[in-house]
Amino acid sequence: MKFSKLPSSVENHCSQHVDLSLPVEQTPMHGADVNAIDHTGQTALHWSAVRGHIQVAELLLKEGAKVDAADLYGYQTTHVAAQYGQTAFLCHIVAKWNADHDVPDNDGRSPIHWAAYKGFADTIRLLLFLGAYRARQDKEGCTPLHWAAIRGNLESCTVLVQAGKKEDLTVQDNTGLTPAKLAADKNHRQIAFFLENARRVHERGCGGNSYFVKLSKFGLAPLLWCIIIALIFVYMHSIILGDYNTNMTLPFGFFSWLGVFLATAGLVMFYRCSRKDPGYINKNTRDSQNQRDDEPLLKRGLHNLEVLDGNWSQLCITCKIVRPVRSKHCSTCDRCVEQFDHHCPWVSNCIGKRNKWEFFMFLILEVSAMIITGVTAIIRSAGDPASPSSFGGWLGYTAINHSWVVSFVVMDLFLFFGVITLTVIQASQISRNITTNEMANSMRYSYLRGPGGRFRNPYDHGVRKNCSDFFLKGYNEDIERVVQTLQPDEEMGPIQMGRSEVAHNCESTPLHGNGTDHCSTDSPVNSKSHRSKKSERTPFGLGMGLGRNNPSSRYVRSLLPL
């Protein structure tokens, strides 16, 4: 990726404030005005945000730089950090220097608008975690979700939808278009389908007064409970106590009743698993409006080691907490769960750190019970003296005279194959100390990738220790052994901050439009159609406008890529 050389005015401006050839702590200021501005109103602090130089920004701020300094277009340092995806820089100046993370620029666009527009999902997570107003509409009537939809960034849309409400999906801009319609208008079909589906899910969820919705909140646990009770009753009545014209021996009788005991014990584990706390992490219930009066609890959370290491996915934008590694927010329970495995509708609960032992024991007991009861049913029906000796004759005789036994065996086999599959999967994962969620998202979680990018489970201590910890303690330990690897920084030249130079370099690509143009990367001819030709140029300048009524900004808009 190539970038133009800095204008001489900007180079002189930066060189007056910071000598980047020296270590930051040795950089002399010589009484320079750290709040000096260039022709666009930008300070050296703005420039440090472009490259994410936290140490340089720290030096400038200690020397008296204004963290809330805005340029001619209303861009503060937080806007610039969001525009360039400098999440760590943004986190630092907000947590330590109380920079305003939700201040709008001259066009009514806050940093979260820019993060959504540029597709920086981690920056969006941080801003939402800090309580950024996601429903703010700019001068075009667009929310951050509108801009994410225009750009066709699925991850950004997903983060905003997960943190939002139904109203965020139905809000219209000044032209009457919702985010889904804007995505469809830009030919982002996957985004449009995702947003429409999210809207339908929200509409079904909002109809919570219906009997079906109220019943669905209980999950399938009552149904599974009734099925197990019914099977135990049929087994006892029609198989153990049924009339087969033959008496059971004592060992076989003990074997038959063992199935009842195991099934009953499984019901106990089933009840404990469905009622037990799976490992919920307490939410931050502080009122976000009162957090501005004293030290914000959310900002204290930004000093968490996971955040300092750059694991921005550990920020839960719903619970407003920094969740531990291996935990996940369950959309069904609306809570974060430690060692989240999966949400099981059959037990109407999440499976996590505190109830996975009960869940696995429930599977083991029920599988054992199904094997014993199935074998007992077949032996009892085959041992009936009145049944024919041929297989076909025996099958017909059993179906007519022992229909309940046939029904039991069919149901038992049907459930057995599903439960045994789940049991084997869970046993395999326990032996490797990994969860279902981690297996499904192994490519997304950085702590599950080794230096070469291959799958690596840092929590696997061997089958013996993994199994002993699980069965003796009830859970596996979270002892991280992740090896941090330094990735080479992407080669990046200085980014042009001057707007006049951009216009000069781009005179061959004018964009005819007006001041109501909607988007800088896929800018429409006018705000009514939201259509334009897609440009594939590299962005220049500090904080390009999403739409401005001046010639240079039109040239800038034509340069921004899709």
So what's the pLDDT on residue 546? 45
Q: Are residues 225 and 265 in the same domain?
A: yes
Give the structural domain span for 269.
Answer: 221-276+350-473
Q: Are residues 96 and 228 in the same domain?
A: no
Q: Is residue 549 part of a domain?
A: no
Spatial neighbors of 387 by CB under 8 A, at least 6 apart, are 381, 393, 394, 397, 398
Alpha helices in 28-173, H assignment, sequence order = 44-51, 54-62, 77-83, 87-97, 111-118, 121-129, 144-151, 154-163, 166-170
CATH of the domain at 61: 1.25.40.20
So what's the pLDDT on residue 560? 36
The residue from 176, 206, 236 where one domain ends is 206
Q: Are residues 171 and 38 in the same domain?
A: yes
Q: What is the pLDDT of residues 79-105, one digit of tens each?
A: 999 999 999 999 999 989 999 999 999
So what's the pLDDT on residue 362? 97
So what's the pLDDT on residue 450? 78
Residue 268: other Cβ atoms inside 10 A: 13
Q: Is 336 a catalytic residue?
A: no
Q: Are residues 162 and 74 in the same domain?
A: yes
Q: Are residues 198 and 226 in the same domain?
A: no
Q: Is residue 398 part of a domain?
A: yes
Q: Which of 319, 344, 506, 519 is catalytic?
A: 344
Q: Is residue 512 part of a domain?
A: no
pLDDT along the chain (562 residues), means of 10: 36 44 48 84 93 93 92 94 94 92 95 96 93 92 95 93 88 94 94 92 63 64 93 90 75 92 96 94 61 48 59 84 89 90 94 95 96 90 73 75 85 94 96 94 84 86 92 83 48 36 34 35 37 36 41 34 38
Considering its fold, how many domains does the chain have in total? 2
Q: Are residues 195 and 231 in the same domain?
A: no
Q: Where are the beta strands (DSSP E) in 248-348?
A: 280-281, 315-316, 321-322, 328-330, 335-337, 342-344
The residue from 408, 440, 473 where one domain ends is 473
**Are the C-beta atoms of 555 and 527 separated by less than 8 Å?**
no
Q: Are residues 244 and 194 in the same domain?
A: no
The residue from 456, 473, 490 where one domain ends is 473
Q: Is residue 526 part of a domain?
A: no
Q: Are residues 14 and 143 in the same domain?
A: yes
Q: Are residues 84 and 129 in the same domain?
A: yes
Q: Is residue 234 part of a domain?
A: yes
Q: Are residues 178 and 263 in the same domain?
A: no
Q: Is residue 113 part of a domain?
A: yes
Q: Are residues 194 and 232 in the same domain?
A: no
Tell if the pTM clears 0.85, that is, is over it: no
Q: Are residues 182 and 231 in the same domain?
A: no
Q: CA-CA distance, 182 to 264, in Å (whole number)?
A: 56
